Homo-oligomer: A and B are copies of this chain.
Amino acid sequence: MTAPAIDRLHLSPDAADLLFREARTANAFTDEPVTDDHVRAIYDLAKYAPTAMNQQPLRLVLVRSEEARARLVGHMAPGNRDKTAAAPLVAIVAADTRFHDELPRVFPHAPGARELFADPHARENSARFNAAIQLGFLILAIRAAGLAAGPMGGYDAAGINADFFPDGEHRVVAVVNIGRPAADAWRDRLPRLAYDEVVTTV
């Protein structure tokens, strides 16, 4: 379906379809592997996401060993276990609550930036929020690589944090299945809110 405002787009229709309009959360994948080269290409786009004070809190754990996969599956909600076990690649997306240690390097023109994040509670909120912006970019970068993403929020977060981040400084914010979508990967598109429900003018 062509949107009425399509002539306002600068992006090509093919790219808009690939990234937004025809892309979907995938629930099943082919056996084709997702290589580290794929993930590097994905990160080479996703890394440009804007974050507050360039804090870049997102971290990715690629779960490649059978042993780690089994541990992760055990932390997932029952409805997510089979697809977590079967996806070509599963990535744990986490927010690094120690992002502020990097600010002198990644936000060099504001020497006092690190000290603005002295409060651990405010810092964790900032890490989660900005990692979510990066997660939006990451999902679109996965699609830009011709792959599909299956982000999941149903898991035992405390269990994943303790098991995969024993430093106590990271918080899982999503688990994402990545791969080439299988023919039966898609559920029906869920309804989106209408423009007038979302956008108001003052």
Docked complex Cα distance between A96 and B48 (Å): 27
A97 at the interface (CB under 8 A from B): no
Q: Which residues of B contact A41 (CB under 8 A)?
A: 3, 5-6, 8-9
Q: Which residues of B contact A15 (CB under 8 A)?
A: 11-12, 15, 19, 144
Q: Which residues of chain A in 144-182 are interfacial with respect to chain B, using CB atoms and an 8 Å cutoff? A: 144-146, 149, 151, 153, 164, 173
A199 at the interface (CB under 8 A from B): yes
Q: Which residues of A contact B (CB under 8 A)?
A: 3-6, 8-12, 14-16, 18-21, 23, 25, 35-41, 43-50, 52, 54, 56, 58-65, 68, 102, 105-108, 125, 128-130, 132-137, 139-141, 143-146, 149, 151, 153, 164, 173, 190-193, 195, 198-202
Docked complex Cα distance between A21 and B41 (Å): 12
Most buried by B among A9, A12, A130, A164: A9
Q: Which residues of B contact A135 (CB under 8 A)?
A: 132-133, 136
Q: Which residues of B contact A37 (CB under 8 A)?
A: 5, 8
Instruction: Please tell me if the beta carbons of A9 and B193 are within 8 angstroms of each other in the complex.
Output: no
Instruction: Please tell me if the beta carbons of B21 and A45 are within 8 angstroms of each other in the complex.
Output: yes
Inter-chain pairs besides A47-B198, A68-B202, A135-B136, 20 sampled, C-beta below 8 Å: A3-B44, A4-B40, A5-B38, A6-B41, A8-B41, A9-B146, A10-B18, A11-B15, A11-B144, A15-B15, A19-B19, A20-B45, A20-B137, A21-B45, A48-B192, A60-B199, A63-B202, A65-B202, A133-B139, A134-B136
Instruction: Please tell me if the beta carbons of A145 and B9 are within 8 angstroms of each other in the complex.
Output: yes
Closest to A187 in B: B109
Docked complex Cα distance between A10 and B18 (Å): 9
Q: Which residues of B contact A140 (CB under 8 A)?
A: 19, 136-137, 140
Q: Which residues of B contact A65 (CB under 8 A)?
A: 202
